[in-house]
Every structure is written in C-alpha cells, then in structure tokens.
Amino acid sequence: MIRSLINIISWRAFLLVLLTSVLVQADDFVISDVKIAVTTSESVRKLYESIPYPSSFDKPIQLTSGDDFKMIFVVNDKQTQKGVQPHQAFLTLTSEKNGNQIPIIIRVRENGKSKVELDMKSAPDELLSSPGNYSLDLIIGTFSYNDPLKYHVGTLEIDVPIQSSGPSPVVYGPKPEIHHIFRPDEKLPPIWLSYSFMAIVLIPWVFLIGAWAYIGVNVSLLARAPESSLMSILFLGSLLAIEILFYNYWTHLNIFQTLTWLTGLSIVAFITGQKALSDVQKWRSLGLR
C-alpha cells in the first residue's frame, strides 16, 4: 500500500517535472567540464586544457595534418543540473575567410556527457581544401527549450598544405580584361650604321666626278646649239619622268596604274630617243663632237 503510494507520488513528481519542462519552457542549458585535447600523429599530446564554460579559449588551437582534436563536455539542465539529450548538438567550424560553415554532429549521451572529435586524417574535404582560421562554436538546441545555446569555444588554425578540390565552379560575373600583347616591331640596326653605309655607297661619286673633271666633261654642245638639242632634252625629260613614275610605283601606285603611265611615257621616250640619237649621229657626221 505504502509502496504503491510512493510509486504514485514519484509518478506525480515525474509528471510535474515533465509538465514544467514543457509548459514553463524557461529552462536553459548549461555546459560544464569542457576539455580540449590535440594529439599528433605520433600520439604526442600537444595540448590539453580545460576551459571554464562561459569564457573561450583565447589562444588559437593549431591543427596540422595528422593531428587529432578532441573535445569533451557535459550538457546539463540549468535548473535540475541533470544531463539532457538535445535534438541539435553541433560543433560548427566557420571559416573566417569566406563564412563557409562545416558542421560536426555531436552524440550526446543520456547523462549529458558528450565527446566530439576532429581527426585531420579523415577531415571533410571542404576543410582540407581551404586551410586558415576557423571559428569553433558549439550549438545546442532542442524543441522543449526556449533558449538554445551558442558557445564560442575558440579559434582553430588549420595549417595543412592546400589540396586542390578539382576545378572551381563557374560563377557568372565580369571576367578579367584581356589586353592583346602585340608582337614587338623588328629590331633595327643602329642608325649610324645605316648612315655610314650610305656614305660608303656614295663614295664612287667622288671617283666619277674626279674622273669627269680630269677628262674635262662638259655640256658645251647644249650651249652652242640649244635649238637643235630639243629632242635630246625631251628624251632626257621622258627618262626622268619614267624614273619618277617608278618612285611613285614604289610609294603608292599599283601595277595597273603604273603600266598605263609607262605605256604613254615609253612611246614618248621611243620617239624622242630615236630622234635624239639621229641628232647625235648628225652632229658626229658634221664633226661637231
């Protein structure tokens, strides 16, 4: 009888606790016994610290490849100080570089004891492909509690060689400008070299003029009989015109324009040339030369 009474009372108490937890919903979580440890691949314990709950671990926690990060803590109800098993218990790593979040799911035992591990040997690719500083936060929430808990544990410093995670996905947006690099102009020899060869090319003129001076070259026939040398002047003029035409061909005329002009000029040159040469023959026979 007494036993059943006690039973009923305990059941009532249990129901009451259940009801308060559902109706009042003012309960908070509390975290205790937070301990973190980092073990290297040679099983050497690099770091072992316990953190008093509301404060964060102020030094960055360094993790290199092969390291194993462990964290244990207890989740309790603030009022009853009993362990709770929340729906959501995540340890999230938030990249300080790009805000990318990597969650680690924590299994909480019925008595609230929890253990979470980040083994760099089997870490998610997302983490390995972008090393750097990550903010380490513990998020605990459940349906029956109004106030979830977010606790900043500290900062992780992931120091691993960057693993390429394949080609980066295409993102639409402005692309970098491309300025075409033009082939450089061909290198020319120094200008003084060109000028000195020009001078060398002109040297024969010295000999020519010297030789002409020595033999006493003159144009006295032109002065003596200007009227009879008209044809010769015209012939020389047509030769000069042909040379000027060739110069123009070189600079801007095309072959068809040039040939048209050349036809006309060569007829003139042919006729005047024939006359001029017969004049020369005439002078010679007259003994004028």
Partner 1 sequence: MRCLLFIFAFVLAVGVFRVEPRSTTGNRVLVLLDKEDDKALYSKFFNSLEEREYQLTYKLPTDSTVDLFSYGERAYDHVINFAPKTKNYKDKVNPLSLLNFVNKGGNILLGASSELSETMRDFAREFDIDFDDIDTSVIDHFNYDISDDGKHTLINAKGITNNEAILTKNVIEGPPVLFRGIAHKVGTIPLLTKVLWAGETAYSYETKADQQVDQEPLVVGNKVMLVSALQARNNARVTFVGSTELFSDRFFDSPIQRTNSAESFPKSGNEDFAKDLTKWTFQEKGVLKVTSRHHHKENETEELELYRIKDNIIYTIEISEYANDHWQAFNGTDVQFEAIMLDPYIRKTLTPLPTSPEQQARKYKAHIQLPDVYGVFTFKVNYKRSGYSYIEDSSVVAIRPFRHNEYPRYISAAYPYYTGAASMIVGFLLFSAIWFFNKESSKIVKKKTS
Q: Specify the stretch interacting with partner 1 by CB under 8 A; choose among 2-10, 48-56, 153-161, 234-242.
A: 234-242
* Binding string, residues 104-143; x marks residues near partner 1 by CB under 8 A: -x-xx------------------------------x-xxx
Helix 230-251 to helix 255-286 angle (10° resolution) is: 160
In angstroms, give the least distance from the CB of 23 to partner 1. 11
d(CA 221, CA 289): 8
With binding defined as CB under 8 A, does residue 18 bind partner 1? no
Query: Which of 76, 94, 95, 130 contacts partner 1 by CB under 8 A?
Result: 94
With binding defined as CB under 8 A, does residue 200 bind partner 1? yes
Site residues (CB under 8 A) for partner 1, limited to 135-194: 139, 141-148, 150, 169-180, 182-183, 188-189, 191, 194
Cα 48 to the chain's mean position, in Å?
A: 43
With binding defined as CB under 8 A, does residue 269 bind partner 1? no
b/e 23-53 (16+ beta carbons within 10 angstroms → b)? eeeebebbbeebebbbbbeeeeeebeeebee
In angstroms, give the least distance from the CB of 215 to partner 1. 6
Cα 67 to the chain's mean position, in Å?
A: 34
d(CA 102, CA 126): 8
Q: Specify the stretch interacting with partner 1 by CB under 8 A; choose among 43-51, 54-62, 69-77, 87-95.
A: 87-95
Q: Specify the stretch interacting with partner 1 by CB under 8 A; choose among 43-51, 57-65, 70-78, 221-229.
A: 221-229
Which residues neighbour 89 within 8 Å (Cβ) at sequence distance 6 or greater? 75, 105, 106, 107, 108, 114, 138, 139, 140
